[in-house]
Amino acid sequence: MHRGTSQHGFSRSKPRRGRPVGLLGRIDHLVYATPDLKMGIDTAAQLFGVRASQGGQHPGEGTRNALIALGPTSYFEIIGPDPEQPKPERPRRFGIDEIKAPRLTTWVAKGTDLEKFASDAAAHGVKLGPVIPGSRKRPDGVVLSWRYTDPRVILADRLVPYFIDWGTSPHPAATATKGVTLLSLRAEHPDADRVQGMLRQLELELAVGRGPKPALHRDLRQPKGPR
């Protein structure tokens, strides 16, 4: 078996050399969707004991975000409507237009060679959707750009992540608020076996237990103590 090729016959989309292995090494960020960005920032500050730094606008998407670093190359994204942009013609990502309170909605995995990865995954029954570009401008004027599998494609109630490649852009965790560390991530779903099978096809080690509704659970080390 060639290096970088999985036992299922397609190339892994994995972190670059020198980064930690296992699930924590694959996590790029957690998505905390909120109907109001200030509400999401305030709620996260109460939960974690730190206040998120401003991230920036997503042009044309009608959203903006704020960030808390969870490690050197992972972060917690608080994302909500951007009052400085008109409401987009299509619904905002992550169900933002429907939710009533902030919630941990999905997660994002690190990736490279995304077109091949998505094509190979689709051949094994996991259709991640097209690879598309994205960008935002930080408050300091630096423009970040990335490529990712379309986050509007929902698999297993968003427990199957989408994949992102930051290319040459600096990783957002570098300038995000520090003080919180991600210790573990796990999930629940009524059809846990099916979801676990999809994640195995992607070689993601997220444990999925059976539960009454889809949910992500994270354990953190933070100034207010483990949560």
For residue 38, tell me if it sits in a domain.
Answer: yes
For residue 207, tell me if it sits in a domain.
Answer: no
Parallel/antiparallel/unpaired status of strands 143-149 and 131-137: antiparallel
For residue 86, tell me if it sits in a domain.
Answer: yes
**Which residues lie closer than 8 Å to 119 by C-beta, 6 or more apart?**
none
Dump pLDDT digits (tens) for 4-19.
Answer: 444 444 444 544 444 4
Average pLDDT of the chain is 90
User: What integer pLDDT is reported at residue 2 of this predicted model?
Assistant: 35
Confidence check: pLDDT of 137 > 90: no
* CATH value at residue 60: 3.10.180.10
Host domain of residue 86: 23-180
User: What integer pLDDT is reported at residue 170 of this predicted model?
Assistant: 95
Element (H, E) at 65: strand 63-71
Name the domain count of the chain: 1
User: What integer pLDDT is reported at residue 225 of this predicted model?
Assistant: 59
Other CB atoms within 10 A of residue 130 CB: 12
Cα-based distances in Å from 79 to 54, 82, 94, 226: 10, 9, 9, 24
**Which residues lie closer than 8 Å to 42 by C-beta, 6 or more apart?**
none
Calculate what percentage of the chain has a pLDDT beyond 90. 83
Amino acid symbol at 4: G
